[in-house]
Amino acid sequence: MPIRKVMVAAVTVAAGLPPHPGPVQAGAGYCVLPDHSLRSPAGEPYLIDTASFLDWIHPNPPPAEREPTSSERLDFAGFPNVSALDVTDSDGGPALKVISTFTTNVDKVVTLTSSAAVSEDGGVTFGPSGATPLRESPVELHDGRFFATEYYLERTGPHTARLGVLTSSVLDDGESWLRSEALLSTPGELLPGGAAHGAPIQLADGTILITAYAQYAETGKYQAEVYASGDGGVTFERRGVIAGPEPGFVYNEAAIEQAMDGSLVAVLRRDGGQYSTLHQSRSTDEGRTWSPVRELRFSSLDCVVRGVAPRLLLTPGGVLVLSAGRPDNWLAVSPDGLGDEWREPVVTYHNRDGIWDAHGSSGYTGLAAVGPHRLIQVFDNCKLPGVRPNGLLDETACPLHDRFEHGGWYAIKRLLFSVATPGAAGGTRIDLGELYRRGALRVSTDMRWSSPYRPRTGPGGALDGSTGYWSSAVGKGRGRYVLHLDRPYRLSRIGLSLRPGHPAWARVYVSGDGREWGEPVVTIKDRTDHALRYDDLGGRTARHVKIVVEPAEDCDPEIGRSCAMLNEVELYSE
């Protein structure tokens, strides 16, 4: 049954603590990551750069006092998530709704309660929070719905379980959510327990994939799995096992993301040792089979990576980002978007007390793209308490003893980051979206297909910074899309995302006068994009850029028999 806040009491530890909190060395081969104040060595690409100030999401407004009162301490907030949803503004233009959700109950198997706070300025500021049915992060489906799962699996039979799902029409901008229950089926004999962890993903054929960890009678232990739905989230069948239990160890929380080459990358939490550690695996057959799990390692560091609750994000710019924590919260990047090599791990937030490095924040984070090369990470300040057998709060992970760097509040905070694109030396990005909004960039195109149910399609869809499937310029048959810039530029490279998840063909031309085009400067043949990809333009001076997209025959029925799609375009100048 739910634990009511009025029935629990705080448990604190004795005084006599170190006066100055600081990092505690893990030893025994575990990684001790650099603090966020450190930067990459000179001469290396600068892949992650903080581009914001630390700010509070909850409480809102931020508290004036360093420490909460006893009653304020019972305003639980932890285990955050975040989503960035493509919506439209009151004028029908592209907009972004950033939703941060967080748990408001103690860390115990109880009826979960959650709150959400919304940002309409790309995650810079958030409004006051309010109750929400959302627990995990929603994603946009190809059919025009936002989709999210609840957390706990409810066993309904030896081979079945129920999982709550929440959906909202894109036309509602995520303002209202409809709850239903999906039926999960598995060939193994289930035991009670288990949870769906992480954000869903959707493959090009419409299949929804979710990760879950479930407990089986054969071993009596949990394992990390992938479930697939081909009917829009009504039913899910177990598609594959990412990692089963090993002697003394189990795998549970898993994040999956589609890499630049279309394969699936999974990062998993492994429990059983002194610390939770992170491992990874890959699937090249859409989640049916997985490579043997291996320890996740950071480039040039010979140490074991600790962490819980991994999150993966393929940015629109093609960089794969990993977020995790405990101890501290951190980010690492795979610049080529494949996840084979993780570089530049950096601590982004800690709330240390100088006693134990896993005190403070829970290490549960959320991650979302708020622009083509910009992301938001959310995290909590103090790990939510558990409950002891006598009904008192177990706050050993975040004791109220006035020794934490950022105080003992149960709070949600955020940071924004800029992420450099691969080949960052290729020039300065021309802000085509801003030029288009203020009329300094003219677009001539026959890619003008639109629908009331696809409000982000249209010529501007290729310039809005989003690689969402329907945030694109779409045409029937062959597509022609011409950018008439405000002045000549010495163009160094072009970034293109064509039809996400589908093979596509295109040619790029440049011109000084918009009449003479010459031979194509870039030719794309049978390429499948999952984010922007970049091609060198060699410093050509031009004021006009033409993109010709060849028609595809396996088009979405609502468009017609054939179509061309330009999902996103970027230009860089020297």
Other CB atoms within 10 Å distance of the CB of residue 54: 13
What order of strands is seen across the sheet that includes strand 130-132? 78-88, 94-103, 114-119, 130-132
Please list the residues that pair with 225 across neighbouring strands: 212, 241
In whole angstroms, give the CA distance from residue 220 to residue 226. 19
Q: Is residue 563 within 8 Å of 552, Cβ to Cβ?
A: yes
DSSP for residue 306: B
pLDDT band per the 50, 70, 90 thresholds, residue 304: very high
pLDDT in tens, 420-433: 876 655 689 999 99
3-state secondary structure (DSSP) of residue 434: helix
CA distances from 367 to 137, 166, 244, 529, 530 (A): 9, 20, 27, 22, 18
Q: Is residue 445 within 8 Å of 473, Cβ to Cβ?
A: yes
**Per-residue confidence (pLDDT) for residue 78, from 0 to 100:** 96
DSSP for residue 356: -
pLDDT band per the 50, 70, 90 thresholds, residue 27: low
**Per-residue confidence (pLDDT) for residue 17, from 0 to 100:** 29
Mean pLDDT of 99-114: 91
Asked whether residue 375 carries a pLDDT value surpassing 70, the answer given is yes
pLDDT in tens, 208-236: 999 999 999 999 999 999 999 999 999 99
**Per-residue confidence (pLDDT) for residue 422, from 0 to 100:** 66
pLDDT band per the 50, 70, 90 thresholds, residue 3: very low
Rg (C-alpha) for the chain, rounded Å, is 24
pLDDT in tens, 440-471: 999 999 999 999 999 999 999 999 999 999 99
CA distances from 183 to 154, 157, 278, 338 (A): 10, 11, 29, 32
Mean per-residue pLDDT over the chain, rounded? 90
Please list the residues that pair with 343 across neighbouring strands: 333
Q: 44: Cβ–Cβ under 8 A, 6 or more apart, which residues? A: none
pLDDT in tens, 6-23: 333 333 222 222 333 333
Q: Tell me how far apart the terminal alpha carbons of the chain are, to the nearest angstrom.
A: 62
HSE at residue 304, side-chain half, CA atoms within 13 A, is 15
Pair of tokens at residue 172: 């509602």
pLDDT in tens, 242-266: 999 999 999 999 999 999 999 999 9
Pair of tokens at residue 163: 């999982």
The DSSP code sequence of 369-436 is: EEETTEEEEEEESSPPPEE-TTS-EE-TTS--SS-STT-S---EEEEEEEEPPTTGGG-EEE-HHHHH
Pair of tokens at residue 228: 């697939």
What is the residue type of 549?
V
Asked whether residue 306 carries a pLDDT value surpassing 60, the answer given is yes
Mean pLDDT of 148-175: 92
387, with CB counted inside 10 A (0-12, 13-18, 19+), is middle
CA distances from 413 to 49, 251, 306, 381 (A): 18, 28, 22, 7
**Per-residue confidence (pLDDT) for residue 4, from 0 to 100:** 34
Residue 107's nearest CA partner among 72, 70, 80, 78 is 78
3-state secondary structure (DSSP) of residue 527: strand
- Report percent pLDDT > 90 for the chain: 79
**Per-residue confidence (pLDDT) for residue 1, from 0 to 100:** 31
pLDDT in tens, 31-49: 988 775 434 444 454 556 6
pLDDT band per the 50, 70, 90 thresholds, residue 110: confident
pLDDT band per the 50, 70, 90 thresholds, residue 280: very high
Q: Is residue 451 within 8 Å of 558, Cβ to Cβ?
A: yes
In whole angstroms, give the CA distance from residue 88 to residue 67. 40
**Per-residue confidence (pLDDT) for residue 43, from 0 to 100:** 46
Asked whether residue 478 carries a pLDDT value surpassing 50, the answer given is yes
pLDDT band per the 50, 70, 90 thresholds, residue 108: confident
Asked whether residue 2 carries a pLDDT value surpassing 50, the answer given is no
pLDDT in tens, 509-533: 999 999 999 999 999 999 999 999 9
In whole angstroms, give the CA distance from residue 476 to residue 469. 16
CA dihedral 510, 514, 516, 520 (to 10 degrees): 20
In whole angstroms, give the CA distance from residue 270 to residue 477. 49
In whole angstroms, give the CA distance from residue 545 to residue 64. 53
Cis peptide before 327 (omega within 30 of 0): yes
